[in-house]
A and B are shown apart, each in its own frame.
Chain A
Amino acid sequence: MDWLWQGIGEQATAACLVVQGGLLDIFGDGGSIVPAFCRLMGGAWLTMKLTIVSLLIGFGLAVPIALARLSQNPFINWPFLAYTFYFRGTPLLVQLFLIYYGSGQFRPELQEIGLWRGGFRDAYFCALFTLTLNTAAYTAEILRGGMLGVPSGEVEAARAYGMSGTMLYRRIIFPKAMRIALPAYSNEVVFLFQSTSLVSLVTLLDLMGVATDVIADTFRHFETLIFAGFVYLLLSGMIFAVFKRVERRLMRHLRRSGDEDVKKAPLPRGVPGSTRA
């Protein structure tokens, strides 16, 4: 996978070198070899990478966890209840420090099983590990809610058709649960994207980390932070827009043909009492 990231990264750097020409005289601090704009874009790249990788792994973990949470067996249910409660009930910053700094307390043990070098010693690994565990907990709860929201009539109908087990989940429960869970999941994606800014506090040079560095070099608190905030805002907006499209596509069976006003002005979701869900 690394060659792919690197390739895209190089392309992005080349593109931003072109863009920065006139745009960022403010940031072109003469002394620095790599101008601040390019450094910030490099940071944004790490932010995106952390978000995407932890979301993918986190989602993969969340599906079995959500299923386990739906189990009637307390021995299966409770450990995952404890896991989701812990990761949803404590600040991400504590989780990050617990894993990054806390692992140092078990250094000899971790070295013995080979998880220290290239593992918990590495800030990138720790950040990815924490973000993955965190988003897996939130996603599992969202998916669980989605699965509980599948109307029992649909499940009964599927059973009447002779579906059971895997087929029932694959054909009926998962697709319906995804539709129900999608608005909440898109929020989670944006929240996770923004939460990655915390990794700057464990020495990683993501967008916020680079911004802190640039501030240390140039003492331009305002410009740098506002610029970083603007990039975050832009990317958050893009994520929201993508999910809006996906949502519209998944919900197209609920839209009447020629129902233009639904497309133009969808009611805000989750407003209690609104008739159009």
Chain B
Amino acid sequence: MFDYQGYGWVFFDGLQITLAVGLASLPVALVLGLVGAWGKLSKNVVLRNLAGAYTTVVRGVPELVLITLVYYGFTIILQDLASSITGEREQIDLNPFVTGTIALGSIYGAFATEVFRGAFLAVDRGQIEAARAYGMGSVLAFRRVILPQMWRFALPGLGNLWLVLLKATALVSVIQLPELMRMTSIGVGATREPFTFYFTASLIYLGITAASLLVIRSAEKQASRGVARRL
């Protein structure tokens, strides 16, 4: 049943791009998440509303719509910009890897915002007050006292985020990025064995999920090693 008729390589090629786009968009999401959480917790009304609008919109609209929107939207904006600069009609083809990374990163940045916000609120107020009492400025206190403790509260949420992000990379296939899903479809087109190919692809995704779960478990253990266990 699992005869790939010489097209087994599609999985290998696709897996590399899937992992690359997933790992590339994770830092984008984390940075956006930290900025977003900072905005949501700030005293400035404009910043707070801006961050609120960002998370509401991204969480209320399907990923597929957002990815398509970012892909076409960016292309059109850049084309108009280039056309207005040169005065001629310019044709720009965006790199699907970059667009996919930006799209996924900005979508999951909204989820990371919520994770970081919750983690920040979970850090004991007294810790911040103590840091201030030692004469640390807000940036230094954040870096030395809040961030290391936030990290522990944020890890379960971030682990979850990575698992969802990983599965969402399959959607980037709609903007022609040759990741696992798209490469599998190429294999299907060549061999006419859709079940064999899509089932194998699903097992590969399952494998990455399982491996990620193991890593997340040990990271959580590592992060909470300094915390006294309750009986």
Contact = CB atoms under 8 A, between A and B. Distances in A.
Contacts of A86: 202, 206
A268 B37 CA distance: 14
Interface in B18-63: 56-57, 59-63
A78 B120 CA distance: 38
A143 to B, nearest CB: 19
B12 interface: no
A90 B72 contact: no
B174 interface: yes
A102 B61 contact: no
Interface string A241-277: 0000000000000000000000000001011111000
Contact of A225 (B56, B65, B153, B188): B65
B182 to A, nearest CB: 11
Given A106-B195, A194-B63, A208-B62, A101 B188 contact: yes
A194 B198 contact: no
B122 A272 contact: yes
A8 to B, nearest CB: 23
B177 to A, nearest CB: 13
Contacts of B63: 194
B159 interface: no
Contact of B195 (A98, A198, A201, A211): A98
The bracket for how many chain A residues form the interface is 35 or more
Contacts of A271: 118, 121-122
Contacts of B68: 225
Contacts of B104: none
Interface residues of B, number: 43
B148 interface: no
Contact of A102 (B65, B171, B195, B206): B195
Interface string A98-128: 1001111110000000000000000000000
B62 A90 contact: no
Given A89-B210, A197-B62, A200-B64, A94 B205 contact: yes
B128 to A, nearest CB: 13
A232 B206 contact: no
Given A102-B199, A105-B195, A221-B73, A94 B65 contact: no
Contacts of B220: none
B122 A85 contact: no
Interface of A: 85-86, 89-95, 97-98, 101-106, 190, 194-195, 197-198, 200-201, 208, 211, 221-222, 225-226, 228-229, 232-233, 236-237, 268, 270-274
14 contacts: A89-B206, A89-B210, A93-B170, A94-B181, A98-B202, A208-B65, A211-B65, A222-B73, A229-B61, A237-B60, A271-B121, A272-B119, A272-B122, A273-B153
